[in-house]
Amino acid sequence: MSDSQTQQVPIGNWTQYIKNALTGKNNYIQFLIGKSGGGLDDPAENDCDKSFSASYQCGNGTTKLINIEKGARGQTVVFDCRKESEICSGVRLTIGDDGNLVMSNSNGEQIWTSNTNKTGIPLDKYKAINSKYKRNYLKSGEILQLGEFVGSPSGNCYLEMVKKQNGNAGLELRYEVTDCSESDGKANSKYSNLLYSVPKVNTQSLTKVGYVDNDSNLHEYPNDMLSYGNNYYLMGNYTNKGNDIDTIKNTTMEQCREKCNTNDNCAGFVFNNADKICKTKKTGMFPLSNRVPEKNSELYVRSKSIANNASCTKSVNSSTAMEWELYPAGVKMSPGSLCNLGLILKDEKQFLDTANKDLRELSNTLQDKIQKLSNEDKKLVSDLGYNVNKLNNDLSEYNNVYKIAENKDEEFEHATAMYEDTNLDMISENYKYLLWTILTIIIIIGSIRITR
């Protein structure tokens, strides 16, 4: 449009049309420029040569620009954050009882670690179950406000959102300690007492195997799903009195291990490096019975093997009875229990089943509509066929009437011609009669005159 026709409109006048869509979760928005895009009147005349410009960010990423200088009306603008969403989705920040922060991606692969190992006193207040999300990790998109935290399973360390000295907020890894010095065993202030305690361990939890889900719930495996594996945990330079199965002399540690592997009841072994003596042990060995320090001996505990669903890991990691007690108890595992991806697939299957059901209902509705339209079409065709036949019959009758009328018209013309001929004959005869009458009168008059 010419300069004299330029219309000024407010910057950002288009945002009212998509402000609600911008809060969606699909990370992909299409916007049609102009009246049809927003459903309201354009702020400028319809025949204006419009331009369009916008800028947006995907999270904290770089600013993306959209600029159409002329002819913008009717064009589609795309706001696309799908690539950024794929990178960020599935990321998890986990805090463990070892004081280390680990960031992993959606595949469970470690992509960053804080490499910290400071921990303090385990406190119920800072346990994962008492933190904001009731677990020891943060998912993508989750946030912490000032004072909110994510705790380790035991509460011996926690990640809290705090206000920094510069006034900005930030995450800080924290742990609680006593006001005592470990080096000299003296209190650092008159308000502190030197108190030490050893936490009680529930021996009922020893040798158990469980699965910790995404919500930090512990699901114990029953004995009928457990058996001994072929890996061993070295407990250090110890021996275990009693609980012997076999004693093998003049052997190696590898041969001792193979001997234990061939016995389904072997829970581990003790190998003496000096005497080259192997002692395989029954289920009652450590940790269900005491271990005794012995310089040349090594104590090995056999790992457990799990018979579980394919969606669950078969890897078993060692832990402590104390850590076992920190997790909330969940439903016991069974051969049909699903884990991780299996649970996701189950939810997705339910979603697809629901969507499939809706589609079937829609399909049935469409079929009913189509059948109804087909019946109406048949009726229309039937009615139309009747009307066409009636019209053909009427046309045939009209044709017959036309032919009769045409014949009557010819007869009328013939009658008219005959009538005209008759009139001419009558006029001719009248003329003749008149002439003879006149002639007769003349003759009579002539005769009279001659007589006179």
Q: For the segment 125-183, what is each residue's pLDDT rounded down to a tens digit? A: 999 999 999 999 998 878 899 999 999 999 999 999 998 877 788 889 998 876 555 44
Name residue, tokens 């002819």.
Answer: 71
Please tell me the distance from the alpha carbon of residue 362 to that of residue 35, in angstroms, as a whole number: 32
Banded model confidence at residue 260, pLDDT cuts 50, 70, 90: very high
pLDDT of residue 156: 92
Residues 6+ apart with CB under 8 A from 209: 220, 221, 226, 304, 306, 316
- Report the alpha-carbon distance of residue 2 to residue 436 in Å, rounded: 103
CB within 8 Å of 39: residues ≥ 6 apart: 17
Query: By C-alpha distance, which of 21, 20, 11 is closest to 54?
Result: 11
CB 151 within 8 A of CB 158: yes
Percentage, residues of the chain above pLDDT 90: 21
Q: How confident is the model at residue 341 (pLDDT cuts 50, 70, 90)?
A: low
CATH says 205-339 is which class?
alpha beta
Average pLDDT of the segment spanning 51-57 = 81
Find the mean pLDDT for residues 207-231: 86
298-304: average pLDDT: 92
Are residues 220 and 327 in contact, defined by beta-carbon separation less than 8 angstroms? no
The reported pLDDT for the residue numbered 183 is: 46
Using an 8 Å Cβ cutoff, are 170 and 161 in contact?
yes
* Region of poorest pLDDT, from 217-221, 267-271, 279-283: 217-221
Flag the least confident range among 86-90, 128-132, 222-226, 261-265: 86-90
C-alpha–C-alpha distance, residues 23 and 45, integer Å? 30
- DSSP string spanning 206-218? TT--EEE-TT--E
Residue 436 backbone phi and psi in degrees, to 5: -65, -35
For the cut 90, the answer to whether the pLDDT of residue 250 exceeds it is yes
Q: What is the pTM of this model?
A: 0.36
Domain coordinates in residue numbering, the chain: 3-87, 89-174, 205-339, 418-452
From CA 287, how far away is CA 291, in angstroms rounded?
A: 8
Q: Mean pLDDT lowest for which of 8-22, 61-75, 420-434?
A: 8-22
CA atoms lying within 13 Å on the CB side of residue 266: 23
Please report the pLDDT score of residue 5 as a whole number.
44
Side-chain-side CA neighbours of residue 247 (13 Å) = 7
pLDDT band, residue 20 (cuts 50/70/90): very low
**Per DSSP, which regions of 11-151 are E strands?**
28-32, 52-57, 63-68, 76-80, 92-95, 101-104, 110-113, 137-139, 149-151
